[in-house]
Amino acid sequence: MKIHKEGRRILFFTLLALLAVNLLLFQLNARAETFNLIFAGASVVAFLLLLQFFRSPFRNLLTHEDLLIAPADGKVVVIEDVHEPEYFDDVRKQISIFMSPINVHITRNPISGIVRYFKYHPGNYLVAWHPKSSTKNERTTVVVQSDAGPMVLFRQIAGAMARRIVWYVNEGDEVSQGEEFGFIKFGSRVDLFVPIDTEVKVQIGEKVKGGQTIIAQLKTTPPTLFGK
């Protein structure tokens, strides 16, 4: 398992800071040995928690042109028909995945195709499961014209703890299913908006893995191998 590039700088300087503080404590506060040992133990635990957040595990990616693959690790918290106002301005099926701080926070392209729209929105930091987080929080919106035909919109949404969204795509880019399109730091959510006739393959509360779990199947004409 590798450490993601977004975490290497943070981990390096965090390690230096923790080492410096612990060395100072053992030199300047030598009499408080018990406190120093407790603080050292807490420093190790804190660093390991940060380390696991930036892990980048190997994934055997599942790809198929009309299958929507999970863009992130987490739990499905929303499956409903809603009005999508930013790009489509019509009713779409929304599927949302909540990412806790212990999940892998890499975000992946759920489908292959061409990026037709991209926009970054500064915003608030409501808790990621709040109904208004999709439109009020800091977020990015990406719309891909899939190789299967239908347009798919997906959003990275910052949460109460997530204070930085990173993205690697721009309008006009050709993207491949399962490849990284960004990273969200410290707790967040990813929303997907697909055509109403899309067949959802997951349920509320289900845990999914980015690049591996089938989220839904797009309707194509004629249907592909996975179609009906």
Residues 21, 124 within the same domain: no
Domains of the chain: total: 2
Query: Counting Cβ atoms within 10 Å, is residue 227 exposed (0-12), middle (13-18) or buried (19+)?
Result: middle
| Higher local confidence (pLDDT), 200 or 25 | 200
Overall average pLDDT of the 200-220 stretch = 93
What are 153-190's pLDDT values in tens digits?
999 988 655 457 888 999 999 999 999 988 887 668 89
Is position 188 annotated as part of the catalytic site?
yes
Indicate if the pLDDT at residue 67 is higher than 80: yes
CB 199 within 8 A of CB 219: yes
SS3 47: helix
Give the separation between CA 142 and CA 116, rounded to whole angstroms. Answer: 8
Residues 34, 142 within the same domain: no
Residues 159, 182 within the same domain: yes
Residues 50, 85 within the same domain: no
Give the separation between CA 30 and CA 35, rounded to whole angstroms. Answer: 10
CB 212 within 8 A of CB 206: no
Q: How confident is the model at residue 125 (pLDDT cuts 50, 70, 90)?
A: low
Catalytic residue (choose from 112, 133, 146, 188): 188
pLDDT value for 138: 84
Parent domain of 191? 67-217
Give the separation between CA 26 and CA 104, rounded to whole angstroms. Answer: 35
In a domain, residue 132? The reply is yes
Residues 87, 197 within the same domain: yes
Q: Mean pLDDT of all residues in the chain?
A: 85
In a domain, residue 222? The reply is no
| Higher local confidence (pLDDT), 132 or 24 | 24
The reported pTM is 0.79
Give the separation between CA 4 and CA 182, rounded to whole angstroms. Answer: 11
